[in-house]
Amino acid sequence: MGSASGLQRRRGAGTSSLAAFDDEDSLARTPKQVASSAQGGAGKGKQAARVEQHSGSGSVATIDVGTGHKLAYDPRDMDDADEERSCPRLTIMEEVLLLGLKDAQGYLSFWNDKLSYTLRGSILMELALRNRIAIMPGADQKRVEVADRLISVKNRKGTGEPLLDEALRHIQQGPPASVSEWMDLLSGETWNMMKLNMQLKQVRERLAKGLVEKGVLRTEKRNFLLFDMPTHPLSNTAVKDAVRRRVYALTTSRSIHPEALYKEDANNGPIDAPVTRALCMVCSAHCGNVLENVLQHLSSDSREEVEVHFDYIAEEFGQWPMAPTSSTGGLPPRGTTDAILARPVNVAAARMSFKNGRTSKLGVSVDELARHMLKEYDTAGRASAYEVIAAVLHVFIRMDSLI
């Protein structure tokens, strides 16, 4: 563990067995002297054993009475640990990319012109689910389409994922812009030369390298005609099988079991909003033209039925309020202030869409999704995330006309 006088950093050091020092002189004493003085002062009250020294950077220095070792930890690490436990191992965009990669060859289809744009939308949904961005408040925001509402940074704290942190930094430093505008800017789809620096470059390659670091993929060289190019074949089949199971849970089943969606990541605690997160992933995969890779075992008619059904799902949840024709009344919950302030939808058109969409024999129903997402809306503390998700799905719906 190092020398007796060495300063050690531990994540989330406890305080029950720790004594501390509160002045510069105590830092100069040996650990044994500090420990003995702490033990000697224990009879005078509990305050002597709970004194800690806080630095200007926010870290806390304490003494381990049992070993005499100095300890230092950052209380903010505890918050990081809580977020790590509530988020799955893979982000939404990593799961979408993994579905698009060929297992043995390790590369994406050369003819997919939608995936890059879809991944930018997945980044915004992931930031929203992590409580980093939200739709800006204001009555003017409710008068425009949900995809045209401005977003702002809600929490500037980093996520530990380089792509997410880079996008968060651009949103924080850039001028106010809507969800659709940020998807264009992050994709480099702009004629404004002053905003080209906001583009996220080499997103697919960076996501693949991140999956290599997580042990899901490996890197190999493959010859394409005259060039050697890096490819990323699948290394851990269990991870991709888990992503496939989430896809099957929404595309081939009629009911959802939220606790089973991310069971491989729930060892340290439940995952926040599992149904909402799975819906974001499957809709992104569908709009990015990689969902069909997972449904090859189905007949062509069944695959087409799933595609049509998720066109309908994206339309229902790509508006605000979400799924207004469902039996639950949609999200936000009917009668709440958020629901009253939300822009009214065309109920007649929505009912016709609902009538056409519910005839599908494959895939979970809108009612089932809305029922579980309503519980997550109330309990997960991510109410602001759902409006961002609706905005991204709205852009996905009209993506054919944008690309």
Residue 1 resides in a domain: no
- Is 2 part of a structural domain of the chain? no
Residue 318: DSSP 8-state: S
Looking at the fold, whether 55 and 91 belong to one and the same domain comes out as no
121 within 8 A of 395, measured Cβ to Cβ? yes
pLDDT digits (tens, 9 = 90+) for 22-78: 444 443 444 444 444 444 444 444 444 545 566 555 556 676 666 666 666 555 554
Whether 302 is covered by a domain: the verdict is: yes
pLDDT > 90: what percent of the chain? 56
Domain boundary among 74, 96, 112: 74
Residue after which a domain boundary falls, among 16, 39, 74? 74
**85 and 70, same structural domain?**
no
Residues 48 and 167 in one domain: no
Instruction: Cite the DSSP H helix spans in 41-108.
Output: 76-86, 92-100
Same domain, 149 and 29: no
Same domain assignment for residues 44 and 189: no
Give the range of the structural domain holding residue 57, as residue numbers without chain letter: 7-74
What tens digit of pLDDT does each residue of 116-155 get?
A: 999 999 999 999 999 999 999 988 898 999 999 999 999 9
Is pLDDT above 90 for 99? yes
**Total number of domains in the chain:** 2
pLDDT digits (tens, 9 = 90+) for 237-286: 999 999 999 999 999 999 999 999 999 886 667 899 999 999 999 999 99
302 and 231 both lie in a single domain: yes
User: Which of 325, 308, 306, 328 shows the shortest CA–CA distance to 373?
Assistant: 328
CATH number for the domain harbouring residue 111: 1.10.3630.10
Domain match, 175 and 191 both: yes
Do 125 and 139 share a domain, yes or no? yes
The whole-number average pLDDT for the span 274-302 is 95
Question: Residue 242 region, left (φ>0) first, then alpha (ψ -120 to 50), else beta?
Answer: alpha
Considering only residues 207 and 35, tell me which one the structure prediction assigns the higher pLDDT.
207
